[in-house]
């Protein structure tokens, strides 16, 4: 049965020690092939970004693809719930949290860790070198 559109939640590591019913979470849906292509194009463009600001903006842009909600997100000053608005994502997360969320998203989508994907990519690029290029 296709997974496209089915939802899943991600809780950041810093919130996993809270009681489950109080944990802030991000809700994503499984992506279609076309959505993955869009996401991968943006993700790959991060490395070609000319500025750090551009790279950070692109990271948040990739996170918005598939993000359909969040829960237990409260304003730390007022305690009031923060209403879901995908454009507010950069106001909620640090850069480190955004990277963690991105890796967790990939892990959940593919059933393989983002670090394992990087390792496979490195191995492929290493195999692509001729013997004179290898160190």
Cβ distance 64 to 18 under 8 Å? no
Measured N-to-C along each axis, helices 95-110 and 52-64 cross at an angle, to the nearest 10 degrees, of 40
Cβ distance 63 to 105 under 8 Å? yes
pLDDT for residue 127: 53
The Cα–Cα gap between 67 and 30 comes to 9
Tokens read off for 78: 């007022």
Domains of the chain, residue spans:
7-127
What does the mean pLDDT of the chain come to?
84
**Residue 135 — pLDDT band, cuts 50, 70, 90?**
very low
**Residue 4 — pLDDT band, cuts 50, 70, 90?**
confident
Q: Which residue has the higher pLDDT, 80 or 126?
A: 80
Share of the chain above pLDDT 90, in %: 56
Among the listed residues 122, 35, 118, 25, the one whose alpha carbon sits nearest the alpha carbon of residue 72: 25
Mean pLDDT over 10-31 rounds to: 93
| pLDDT of 60 strictly over 50 | yes
- Give residue-wise pLDDT tens across range 90-133: 999 999 999 999 999 988 887 754 555 455 555 555 555 554 55
């Amino acid at each position: 049965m296709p997974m496209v559109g089915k939802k899943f939640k991600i809780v950041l590591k810093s919130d996993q020690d809270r009681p489950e019913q109080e944990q802030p979470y991000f809700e994503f849906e499984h992506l279609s092939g076309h959505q993955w292509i869009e996401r991968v194009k943006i993700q790959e463009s991060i490395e070609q970004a000319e500025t750090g600001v551009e790279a950070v903006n692109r990271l948040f842009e990739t996170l918005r693809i598939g993000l359909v909600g969040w829960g237990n997100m409260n304003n730390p000053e007022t305690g009031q719930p923060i209403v879901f608005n995908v454009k507010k994502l950069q106001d909620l997360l640090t850069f480190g949290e955004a990277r963690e969320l991105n890796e967790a998203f990939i892990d959940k989508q593919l059933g393989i860790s983002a670090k394992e994907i990087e390792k496979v990519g490195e191995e492929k690029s290493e195999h692509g070198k001729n013997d004179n290029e290898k160190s």
